[in-house]
């Protein structure tokens, strides 16, 4: 094991797969000599050279279009979009072309590509650079959607995403880049579509994603001191979604809370709530509760941004005061 930061785990996962497979290459803005605007790709240019670590002009359409073409000809591109908000500028290519080509060619053309992007709030970047948009990607058939919460999962899930023959949207949370954790040495590959139980409990199930996972764990520890024992599930992958782990936990605890950084309307937790309500309605001891960001643009002011996002205190109070 080695202790790595979340951002260093990105570089480690990329290096592992580029070393293993010479069809893997990177394309994006400032990812080469600059090492990425969030410093998640340092050293890769020196190690793999400019043919495989390619800087681009400021054009998300060009980046995603080039990645799509490369994947169609047998390469495994990893395209970086600097902020997840910028997927809006190339959404036609992602949602109408990349997501649908394998289906529309009856499997004759596969698109083994990964779109990495910095997602989420907490950095005071304002409404156009702070959104959590994994629910956008989740709504498009043909895309796989991954959002890790720990350095180990960054490396392992990124490796799995690169090896996958379908296009994967890989959301790295900006506020987690500096966090550290143990990462397995050597080759490390996780499985897509498998949630991870971060804490076992008997009284309630909390389902969280990315930066909301450590907040949910902190709230669970506070609740335990009050005699409320919670399971915390890290979804990790929205598509494919590990419904069995979630349903198994809720069947045991009979209560479900989701913690989502998405705006409340059409967040991923609504889909999970729907699945649980359909499958386990008579096992529930209370209503499913979603703890979310309000349906508002994210403010840039620090106090306002903090008040908008789900906090440890709000998670704690919501669960403690539930009937």
- Which active-site residues does the annotation give? 129
What is the distance between the alpha carbons of residues 145 and 168, in angstroms, rounded to a whole number? 6
What is the distance between the alpha carbons of residues 276 and 279, in angstroms, rounded to a whole number? 5
Q: What is the DSSP string of 175-207?
A: GGTT-EEEE-SS-----TT--EEEE--SSEEEE
Estimate the crossing angle of helix 212-225 against helix 312-320, to 10 degrees.
Answer: 50
Q: What is the DSSP string of 223-265?
A: HHHTT--EEEEE--EEETT-HHHHHHHHHHH--EEEEEEEEST
77-116 CB burial, b ≥16 within 10 A, e <16? bbbbbbbbbbbeebbebbbebbbbbbeeeeeeebbbbbbb
What is the distance between the alpha carbons of residues 247 and 117, in angstroms, rounded to a whole number? 30
Estimate the crossing angle of helix 6-20 against helix 151-163, to 10 degrees.
Answer: 30
Pairing of strands 24-28, 53-55: parallel
Backbone angles phi, psi at 69, to 5 degrees: -60, -40
CA nearest to 271, candidates 245, 303, 239: 239
CA nearest to 213, candidates 187, 189, 191, 195: 195
Q: Specify the length of the chain in residues.
A: 323
């Amino acid at each position: 094991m080695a202790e790595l930061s979340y951002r260093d785990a990105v570089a480690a996962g990329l290096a592992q797969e580029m070393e293993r497979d010479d069809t893997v290459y990177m394309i994006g803005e400032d990812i080469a000599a600059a090492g990425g605007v969030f410093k998640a790709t340092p050293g890769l240019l020196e190690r793999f050279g400019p043919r495989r670590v390619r800087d681009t002009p400021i054009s998300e359409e060009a980046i995603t279009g080039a990645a799509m073409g490369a994947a169609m000809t047998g390469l495994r591109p990893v395209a970086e979009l600097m902020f997840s908000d910028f997927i809006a500028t190339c959404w036609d290519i992602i949602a109408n072309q990349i997501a649908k080509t394998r289906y529309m060619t009856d499997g004759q053309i596969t698109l083994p590509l990964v779109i990495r992007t910095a997602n989420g709030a907490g950095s005071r970047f304002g409404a156009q650079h702070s959104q959590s948009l994994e629910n956008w990607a989740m709504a498009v058939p043909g895309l796989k959607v991954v959002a890790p919460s720990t350095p180990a999962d960054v490396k392992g899930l990124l490796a799995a995403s690169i090896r996958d023959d379908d296009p994967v949207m890989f959301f790295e949370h900006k506020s987690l880049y500096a966090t550290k954790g143990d990462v397995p040495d050597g080759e490390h590959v996780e499985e897509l579509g498998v949630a991870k139980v971060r804490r076992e409990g008997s009284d309630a199930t909390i389902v969280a994603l990315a930066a909301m996972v450590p907040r949910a764990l902190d709230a669970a520890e506070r609740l335990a001191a009050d005699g409320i024992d919670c399971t915390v599930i890290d979804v990790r992958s929205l598509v494919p979604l590990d419904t069995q782990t979630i349903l198994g936990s809720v069947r045991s605890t009979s209560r479900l809370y989701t913690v989502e950084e998405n705006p409340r309307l059409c967040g991923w937790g609504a889909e999970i709530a729907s699945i649980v309500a359909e499958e386990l309605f008579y096992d529930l001891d209370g209503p499913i509760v979603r703890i979310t960001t309000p349906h508002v643009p994210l403010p840039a002011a620090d106090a306002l941004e903090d008040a908008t996002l789900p906090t440890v205190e709000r998670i704690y109070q919501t669960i403690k005061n539930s009937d």
